Amino acid sequence: MSHGAGLVRTTCSSGSALGPGAGAAQPSASPLEGLLDLSYPRTHAALLKVAQMIFGFMATFLCMASIWLSYKISCVTQSTDAAV
């Protein structure tokens, strides 16, 4: 069962390690090419990650707001009168 084409990157060339051009830098390669995948933000995984971060922030904020709003300090001493 195939889930579509994926991105496969390798660090070794198909030739020998000491073959022609083994030590030469590729002039057309960007310095960020191996570190940053520019097509990732347009994937479903990235959109799900953004939604996860938003809902996680909202849940944390609402829990903290609930704790903050339910916390009460009373400086008034409570009476222990048995007359009800």
Residue 55, in any domain of the structure: yes
Residue 60: band (very low, low, confident or very high) from pLDDT cuts 50, 70, 90:
very high
Domain of 61 in residue numbering reads as 40-70
Residue 44, in any domain of the structure: yes
Q: How many domains is the chain built from?
A: 1
d(CA 40, CA 47): 9
Residue 77, in any domain of the structure: no
Higher per-residue confidence, 41 vs 3: 41
Residue 23, in any domain of the structure: no
The pair of structure tokens assigned to 1 is: 């069962």
Q: Kindly report the CA angle at 69 between 66 and 74, in degrees rounded to 5?
A: 140
The separation between CA 7 and the C-alpha centre of its own chain, rounded to angstroms, equals 19
DSSP 33: T
Residue 10, in any domain of the structure: no
Q: pTM, whole model, 2 decimals?
A: 0.44
Residue 49: band (very low, low, confident or very high) from pLDDT cuts 50, 70, 90:
very high
Residue 46, in any domain of the structure: yes
Residue 52, in any domain of the structure: yes
Residue 77: band (very low, low, confident or very high) from pLDDT cuts 50, 70, 90:
confident
Per-residue model confidence (pLDDT) at position 54: 97
Long-range pairs of 1-10 with CB within 8 A, sequence gap ≥ 24: 7/37, 7/39, 9/34
